[in-house]
C-alpha cells in the first residue's frame, strides 16, 4: 500500500500502481469523468500513469491551467496525426500547448505547401480521428532506440541528441508516435470541438539561419458551445488589437527605414505616454525615489561583470563600432548594471539606506523579425525601471511598499483581476543561476513572507526566477479574460556582490546591500499595448489624449468653436477642434470612432448663449452647459477619479 496526500492534506491509502483516474473515481464518479491530468509530487502526469510510491497529488479539470495544458498538448498530437495522414512524409519539429490552444511546427512532406485554404480540410481530419477514441499510450525506450525510430526526421533526431542518455518517453495514438514528456488525455474522445486557426512561418529553434517551418495554430474544447464563445471572444480581440486601434487613434507607427521593432510615437501617443510617466513619477516621489539618467550604451565589461553577457549573449547585446582600438561598446539591454555604478560612485552609510533610484530608461534587445508584434514585442523599449538598495532588516518592508505601488497603478487603470506569481529557482537545474544557495533561500523566503503579509492571491512557479534572483510577477486578466504579465519585483543578493557594492554599518564595518529590481509597468510600449486592448482605446478621462472635441455645425460658427477650444484649454481641459467642411453627422461619427469621451456641438443657439451642446461617447445627448460649467464638470470628474485611486 502507498499513502496519497490530497490537496486538503487528508491521506488515503491505495495499492501500489494505482492511477490518478482510479483515485478520482474513488473520490467521486463525477470527478473521474472530468479529471484531465494529475500533479504527482510537483510533476504533471497522465491520469493513467501508475503511482508506485507515497505521493502528494492534485487532480486537474478543464477549469485548471494544468487540465487545459494536457487537453491542448494532446490536441497538438492529434493535429500532427492529421497532417501525417494528409501529407505523407511530413517531418515534425515541436508541438506545445500554449496559453490559448497549441501549435505544431512542421515541414510538409513531398514538397507540399500548406495554405489557409487547407485549414478546413485539416480540421475535418482531426475531428474524424478524435472520434476514433484512440488511446494516448506512453512508453519509455532507450536513447539509441529513439534515434533509430526517428532516423527519417532530422528535427526529432536533433531533439533526442540533446537529451541525457537513458530512457526517453514516446506517446502513440492511432498511427502517430511522437517524442514527448506528456502529459496527455487517456484518449481522444474528450476532444469534441476543433478549430485550426492560422498559419505562420517559424525558423527551426528560433534561428533565422536555419530552415523555416510551417507553424499551424489550433484550439480545441470539450464542448462546441465553448468553441463558439471563444470565436466570439477572438473576434472581439481582433477589434481591440492595439495595432489597429493605435493606427486609428494616431498613437504610434512603424517605419521600414527606421527598422523593424522600433516604434515611432506620434504626438497623441507621446502625450499618452507622458501622462503615464508623470503619474508614476508622482507616486515615486511619495515613496522616496530619486530620478537618475543613464546612457543608451555601455562598455562590454560592464555586462560581463553583471553576468548578463554570459547568460544572454549576442541575442541581447548588439555592438557599437568605435574607432578607438580596444574599446567595445554595446547597446544597453538593461538598466540595472548602470544603477549599480551610480550607487558605487560614492561611499554609503547604513543611515543612507534604503536608496531608491528610478529611471524611464530605454533599452535595446535584438528580437527576431518573426517574433516582433506591434508594441508587445519590440527591439527598443522604455522600462519604468527602479532599483532599491537596502539593508537586510529593510528588505521585507521595501518589498511590500513596491507591492503597494503596483496595487495603486492597477486601481488607477482598472485592472481588477490578477494573480501574483512567485517565481523561484528550478531546484533540479541550479546551474542556470548565479549566487549562493543561502542567499537564494533568503531572497525566496522574503518574497513569500511579504506576499503572505499583504494577503496576496499567489501561485508558485519553480524555474521561472531571473538568473540572479527570485521574483514576483503580477499576472493580470484584461477585459476579455486574457492573461498578461504586468509588474515585476525581484530580490537580488548577487549583483551587489558582483559589483562589490558596500555600505558602512553601525559596527563601522563594510556590509553588502540587497538590491530590489522593480518595474510596475514593465515596459511603456507593452503596457500601452495592453491598456489599449483592455480599454478598447477608451482610456480613463484623466489619461486620454483628448477629453473633448468641439464640432461647429457649419463654417459660420468656426470662430466661436475656436473660442470654446481656447477657453477649455485655459481651464486645463484637453480639447481639439474639428472645423472640417463636413456635415455635423459625419463629424460626430468620425470623432466617436476616435473614442473621444465628449463631443461638444456648437451652433447659433450655443454661440448666442455662451454654451456647448454635450454628447458623451456611447451615451448620446447630455444637454447644454456653459463653457466654464463644462470645464468644471470635466475637472471635477478627473479629480474624483484620482481621489478614489488615493483612497
Active-site amino acid positions: 336, 365, 383, 385, 387, 471, 517
CA 321 to CA 329: how far, in whole Å?
7
Is 340 one of the annotated binding-site residues? Answer: no
Query: In DSSP terms, which residues pair with 489 in a beta bridge?
Result: 472, 518
Cell of 87: 501529407
Residues 6+ apart with CB under 8 A from 251: 245, 265, 266, 268, 269, 272, 528, 532, 545
**Length of the chain, in residues:** 647
Query: In DSSP terms, which residues pair with 515 in a beta bridge?
Result: 389, 492
Residues 6+ apart with CB under 8 A from 394: 353, 354
Find how far residue 10's CA is from the centre of its chain.
Answer: 36
Alpha helices in 373-499, H assignment, sequence order: 395-412, 437-453, 494-498
Question: 137-153 burial, b if ≥16 CB within 10 A, otherwise e?
Answer: ebeeeeeeebbebbeeb
| Residue in the structure block whose three cell numbers are 562590454 | 300
Q: Do 557 and 603 meet the contact criterion of CB atoms below 8 Å apart?
A: yes
Q: Which has the closest alpha carbon to 33: 185, 136, 171, 181? A: 185
| Residue in the structure block whose three cell numbers are 487537453 | 71
Determine the number of helices (DSSP H) and then strands (DSSP E) in the chain: 20, 35
CA 381 to CA 527: how far, in whole Å?
11
Cell of 388: 532599491
Cell of 226: 465553448
Residues 6+ apart with CB under 8 A from 554: 584, 603
| Residue in the structure block whose three cell numbers are 526526421 | 153
SS3 per-residue string spanning 589-622:
HHHHHCCCCEEEEECHHHHHHCEEEEEECCCEEE
Is 336 one of the annotated binding-site residues? Answer: yes
CA 467 to CA 425: how far, in whole Å?
8
359, containing H or E segment: strand 355-364
Find how far residue 558's CA is from the centre of its chain.
Answer: 46
Residues 6+ apart with CB under 8 A from 646: none
Characterize the bridge pairing of strands 417-424 and 471-477: antiparallel
Q: Do 48 and 20 meet the contact criterion of CB atoms below 8 Å apart?
A: yes
| Residue in the structure block whose three cell numbers are 472581439 | 236
State the chain's maximal CA–CA distance in angstroms.
92
Measure CA of the first residue to CA of the last residue in the chain; give whole Å: 57
Q: Do 36 and 174 meet the contact criterion of CB atoms below 8 Å apart?
A: no
Cell of 244: 489597429
**Which phi and psi angles does 87 have, rounded to 5°?**
-130, 75
Q: Do 335 and 496 meet the contact criterion of CB atoms below 8 Å apart?
A: no
Q: Do 308 and 316 meet the contact criterion of CB atoms below 8 Å apart?
A: yes
Is 180 one of the annotated binding-site residues? Answer: no
Which SS3 state, helix, strand or coil, does residue 39 take? strand
Cell of 465: 526566477
Residues making up the binding site for Zn(2+):
336, 387, 517
Residues making up the binding site:
336, 387, 517
Amino acid at each position: 500500500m502507498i499513502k496519497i496526500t490530497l490537496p486538503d492534506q487528508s491521506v488515503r491509502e491505495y495499492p501500489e500502481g494505482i492511477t490518478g483516474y482510479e483515485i478520482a473515481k474513488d473520490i467521486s464518479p463525477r470527478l473521474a469523468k472530468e479529471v484531465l491530468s494529475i500533479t504527482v509530487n510537483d510533476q504533471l502526469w497522465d491520469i493513467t500513469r501508475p503511482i508506485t510510491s507515497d505521493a502528494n497529488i492534485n487532480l486537474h479539470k478543464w477549469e485548471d491551467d494544468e487540465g487545459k495544458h494536457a487537453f491542448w498538448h494532446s490536441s497538438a498530437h492529434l493535429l500532427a496525426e492529421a497532417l501525417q495522414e494528409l501529407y505523407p512524409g511530413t517531418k515534425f519539429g515541436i508541438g506545445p500547448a500554449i496559453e490559448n490552444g497549441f501549435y505544431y511546427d512542421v515541414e510538409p512532406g513531398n514538397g507540399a505547401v500548406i495554405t489557409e485554404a487547407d485549414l478546413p480540410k485539416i480540421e475535418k481530419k482531426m475531428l474524424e480521428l478524435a472520434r476514433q477514441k484512440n488511446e494516448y499510450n506512453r512508453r519509455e525506450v532507450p536513447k539509441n532506440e529513439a534515434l533509430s525510430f526517428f532516423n527519417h526526421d532530422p528535427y526529432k533526431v536533433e531533439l533526442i541528441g540533446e537529451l541525457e542518455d537513458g530512457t526517453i518517453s514516446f506517446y502513440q495514438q492511432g498511427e502517430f508516435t511522437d517524442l514527448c514528456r506528456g502529459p496527455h488525455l487517456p484518449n481522444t474522445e474528450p476532444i469534441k470541438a476543433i478549430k485550426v486557426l492560422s498559419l505562420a512561418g517559424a525558423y527551426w529553434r528560433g534561428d533565422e539561419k536555419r530552415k523555416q517551418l510551417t507553424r499551424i495554430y489550433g484550439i480545441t474544447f470539450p464542448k462546441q458551445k465553448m468553441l463558439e464563445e471563444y470565436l466570439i471572444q477572438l473576434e472581439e480581440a481582433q477589434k481591440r488589437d492595439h495595432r489597429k486601434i493605435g493606427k486609428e487613434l494616431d498613437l504610434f507607427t512603424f517605419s521600414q527605414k527606421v527598422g523593424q521593432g522600433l516604434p515611432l510615437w506620434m504626438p497623441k501617443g507621446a502625450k499618452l505616454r507622458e501622462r503615464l510617466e508623470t503619474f508614476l513619477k508622482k507616486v515615486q516621489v511619495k515613496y522616496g525615489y530619486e530620478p537618475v539618467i543613464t546612457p543608451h550604451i555601455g562598455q562590454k565589461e560592464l555586462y560581463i561583470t553583471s553576468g548578463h553577457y554570459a547568460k544572454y549573449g549576442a541575442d541581447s547585446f548588439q555592438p557599437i563600432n568605435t574607432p578607438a582600438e580596444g574599446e567595445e561598446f554595446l547597446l544597453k539591454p538593461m538598466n540595472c548594471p548602470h544603477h549599480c555604478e551610480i550607487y558605487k560612485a560614492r561611499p554609503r552609510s547604513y543611515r543612507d539606506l534604503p536608496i531608491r533610484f528610478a529611471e524611464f530608461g530605454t533599452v535595446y534587445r535584438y528580437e527576431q523579425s518573426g517574433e516582433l508584434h506591434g508594441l508587445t514585442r519590440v527591439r527598443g523599449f522604455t522600462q519604468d525601471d527602479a532599483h532599491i538598495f537596502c539593508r537586510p532588516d529593510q528588505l521585507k518592508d521595501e518589498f511590500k511598499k513596491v507591492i503597494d505601488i503596483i496595487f495603486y497603478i492597477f486601481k488607477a487603470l482598472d485592472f481588477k483581476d490578477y494573480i501574483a506569481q512567485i517565481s523561484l529557482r528550478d531546484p533540479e537545474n541550479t546551474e542556470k543561476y548565479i549566487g549562493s544557495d543561502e542567499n537564494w533561500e533568503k531572497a525566496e523566503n522574503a518574497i513569500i513572507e511579504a506576499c503572505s503579509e499583504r494577503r496576496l492571491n499567489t501561485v508558485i512557479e519553480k524555474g521561472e526566477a531571473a538568473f540572479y534572483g527570485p521574483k514576483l510577477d503580477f499576472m493580470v486578466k484584461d477585459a476579455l479574460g486574457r492573461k498578461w504579465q504586468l509588474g515585476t519585483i525581484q530580490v537580488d543578493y548577487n549583483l551587489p556582490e558582483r559589483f562589490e557594492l558596500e555600505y558602512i554599518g553601525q559596527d563601522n564595518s563594510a556590509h553588502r546591500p540587497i538590491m530590489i529590481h522593480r518595474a510596475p509597468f514593465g515596459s511603456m510600449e507593452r503596457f500601452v499595448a495592453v491598456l489599449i486592448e483592455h480599454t478598447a482605446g477608451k482610456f480613463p478621462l484623466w489619461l486620454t489624449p483628448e477629453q473633448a472635441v468641439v464640432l461647429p455645425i457649419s463654417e459660420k460658427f468656426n470662430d466661436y468653436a475656436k473660442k470654446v477650444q481656447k477657453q477649455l484649454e485655459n481651464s486645463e481641459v484637453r480639447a481639439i477642434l474639428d472645423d472640417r467642411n463636413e456635415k455635423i453627422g459625419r463629424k460626430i461619427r468620425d470623432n466617436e470612432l476616435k473614442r473621444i469621451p465628449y463631443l461638444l456641438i456648437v451652433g447659433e443657439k450655443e454661440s448666442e448663449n455662451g454654451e456647448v451642446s454635450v454628447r458623451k461617447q456611447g451615451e448620446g445627448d447630455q444637454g447644454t452647459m456653459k463653457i466654464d460649467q463644462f470645464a468644471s464638470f470635466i475637472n471635477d470628474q478627473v479629480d474624483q477619479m484620482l481621489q478614489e485611486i488615493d483612497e
